[in-house]
Amino acid sequence: MKTGQSNCLIYGCMGLGGGWNRNPLTPNDEKTAHEAIYAALETGIERFDHADIYAYGKAEEVFGKVIKSNPGLRNKIILQSKSGIMLGKGPDNSNIYNFNKDYLIQQVRGILKRLQTDYLDIFLLHRPDILSHASEIAETFHYLREEGYVKQFGVSNMSVSQIRLIQNYWKEGLVANQIRLSLEHSMAVDIGVSINTSMIPYDSGLQGMLEFCQINNMAIQAWGSLDRGLYTGKPHASLDRKELETAKLVSKLAGKFNVPENSILLAWLLMIPGTIQPIIGTTKPERIRACKKALEVKMSHEEWYELWITARGKPLP
């Protein structure tokens, strides 16, 4: 059983900055960010997740304003951001990926400027760029570290083999892989019971991911951890049978442990062995504060499995 999880939650800043538009920041965007960030801090959260693309840079920009207004804050938090996705540069305004050295260095400089900080604690590669060379990634990391721009590095949405390749050139360790992982989107867990069955894991990039991260001292940063309110707020009439049963079970367990429903989703993630760091993306201060209760939940083995199997909608092999 893992203990001392008080600082394992990450506050995800994708919802800050007024949304995916090019409008300038408004006083209301600043108020929302200020309230969300301080609610996270009150909750004991010290890790904050960004990406250069969130709200077209405005999530970082509004966060930077909060940092500027409280000069003591920067050194009390663990600040991370990501880069490597180029929005709208593909056909029909779709996205492409770019890990070229010059591009990433330029992006990190922009991130630091928007966040009004001299350094990032962690920089993650956002989504694998198929054309990237691991040797160039290592050179880029080396440069970013030597310049004092970044202390540690990680990846996001990468398979075990992609991480292995980077590790082959970057010997100083990767601290995290940020992947989608939640009660609804539990493929990284499902894959652990697929051996010798006809269940074909449709995402084989996750094969061995949980074990690999434990062996390599990498955290799994779980994005989408609250399933965007699917089980904890979405009207029951809009849910299918499997989702409805899961929502009812989440509610029953929340009643049993006397905690808000979102805490049950996070507690389920935190029971997975290894270092699991759920990223919470709600901007509502009361929802952020309520997440702390997840650390109090001591679900039984049977309860954990019941939740998983109910959300899967099918029994284990």
Ligand X SMILES: NC(=O)c1ccc[n+]([C@@H]2O[C@H](COP(=O)([O-])OP(=O)(O)OC[C@H]3O[C@@H](n4cnc5c(N)ncnc54)[C@H](OP(=O)(O)O)[C@@H]3O)[C@@H](O)[C@H]2O)c1
In the complex, which residues of this chain contact ligand X (CB under 6 A)?
12-15, 49, 156-157, 178, 223-229, 232-233, 262, 279-284, 287
Nearer to ligand X, 15 or 193 (CB): 15
- Smallest gap from Cβ 118 to ligand X, in A, equals 22
Nearer to ligand X, 48 or 170 (CB): 48
Please give the backbone phi and psi of residue 172, each rounded to the nearest 5 degrees, phi first.
-90, 5
Question: What secondary structure does DSSP assign to 117-176, as a single string?
Answer: -S-EEEEEE-S--TT--HHHHHHHHHHHHHTTSEEEEEEES--HHHHHHHHHH-TT---E
- Smallest gap from Cβ 96 to ligand X, in A, equals 15
- Smallest gap from Cβ 189 to ligand X, in A, equals 16
Cα distance between residue 19 and residue 190, in whole Å: 33
For residue 109, the tally of other CB atoms under 10 A from its CB is 13
Nearer to ligand X, 36 or 191 (CB): 36
Nearer to ligand X, 270 or 279 (CB): 279
- Smallest gap from Cβ 3 to ligand X, in A, equals 24
Nearer to ligand X, 143 or 242 (CB): 242
Nearer to ligand X, 103 or 135 (CB): 103
- Smallest gap from Cβ 35 to ligand X, in A, equals 11
Residues 6 or more apart whose Cβ sits within 8 Å of residue 180: 157, 222, 223, 224
- Smallest gap from Cβ 275 to ligand X, in A, equals 17
Which pair of tokens denotes residue 49? 């997740």
Chain centroid to CA 289: 18
Amino acid at 186: S
For residue 236, the tally of other CB atoms under 10 A from its CB is 10
